[in-house]
């Protein structure tokens, strides 16, 4: 079947998760992370994801904002930093993450070509709405779907099922895009046509469900959606 719906993960896919640490590190009052912000950003993201997996497995769900704060606290402690003002600044910036440069034009092209567009994210609804508003892409999305509706994190299949229920489509009518290899694998196993945005040039995850396409950025997503 032809693709009808193009769905995107949010953090790391549409929005640059390193932006908060990078912007904070450039501010004079945050000299403590001026040289180590990249490590901080990587640790923060890694723990954020690890905590979602742990909570999905154990059934002890906490919303993504809580998980995001827990991950940051671990990352700061790992660097020996105890600075409440820096912590609050980093968290505030997370609500205003920059979209990758190609995102607005890519979404606009999809809409012009008649595709439905949506976000499917682990993010809490208010976090996602803040990021979408900050990036100015709200009018280019038909919906923003959060795992809070089902109370479990990706890659649980009931998360991906939210898309087919919302748009009344078959699984093979969905193009799903993520920067996370494990997320792309989960979506592929569910039956979506998947694109892995591998900006860092990392090896492919060995999870049994390889992506249908691998890209370095999102610019050619409209071409792929139209060709499937």
Q: Catalytic residue numbers?
A: 9
**Closest among 59, 66, 114 to 94, alpha carbons compared:** 66
Q: What share of the chain is helix, strand, coil (3-state, %, to 5)?
A: 50, 15, 35
Task: Give the whole-angstrom CA distance, residue 105 versus residue 92.
Answer: 26
- Residue of 1, 5, 58, 31 lying closest to 164 (CA atoms): 5
DSSP H or E segment with residue 68 = helix 64-78
Q: Please choose, from the candidates 69, 63, 123, the residue with its C-alpha nearest in 3D space to the C-alpha of residue 92.
A: 69
Helix or strand (DSSP H, E) at 116: strand 116-121
8 A C-beta contact, residue 218 and residue 200: no
* φ, ψ of residue 82 in degrees (nearest 5): -125, 85
In order, the DSSP letters of 124-138 are -HHHHHHHHHHHT-G
């Amino acid at each position: 079947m032809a693709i009808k719906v193009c769905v995107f993960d949010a953090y790391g896919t549409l929005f640059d998760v390193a932006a908060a640490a990078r912007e904070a590190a450039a501010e004079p009052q945050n000299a403590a992370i001026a040289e180590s912000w990249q490590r901080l950003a990587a640790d923060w993201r890694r723990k954020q994801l690890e905590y979602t997996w742990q909570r999905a497995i154990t059934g002890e769900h906490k919303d993504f904002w809580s998980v995001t704060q827990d991950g940051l606290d671990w990352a700061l402690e790992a660097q020996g930093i105890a600075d409440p003002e820096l912590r609050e600044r980093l968290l505030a910036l997370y609500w205003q993450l920059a979209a990758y440069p190609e995102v607005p034009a890519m979404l606009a092209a999809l809409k012009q070509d008649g595709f439905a567009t949506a976000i499917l994210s682990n993010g809490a609804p208010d976090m996602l709405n803040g990021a979408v508003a900050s990036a100015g892409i709200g009018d280019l999305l038909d919906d923003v779907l959060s795992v809070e509706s089902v109370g479990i994190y990706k890659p649980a299949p009931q998360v991906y099922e939210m898309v087919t229920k919302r748009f009344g489509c078959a699984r093979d009518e969905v193009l799903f895009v993520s920067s996370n290899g494990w997320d792309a694998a989960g979506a592929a196993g569910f039956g979506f046509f998947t694109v892995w945005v591998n900006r860092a040039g990392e090896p492919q995850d060995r999870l049994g469900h390889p992506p249908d396409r691998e890209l370095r950025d999102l610019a050619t997503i409209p071409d792929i959606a139209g060709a499937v």
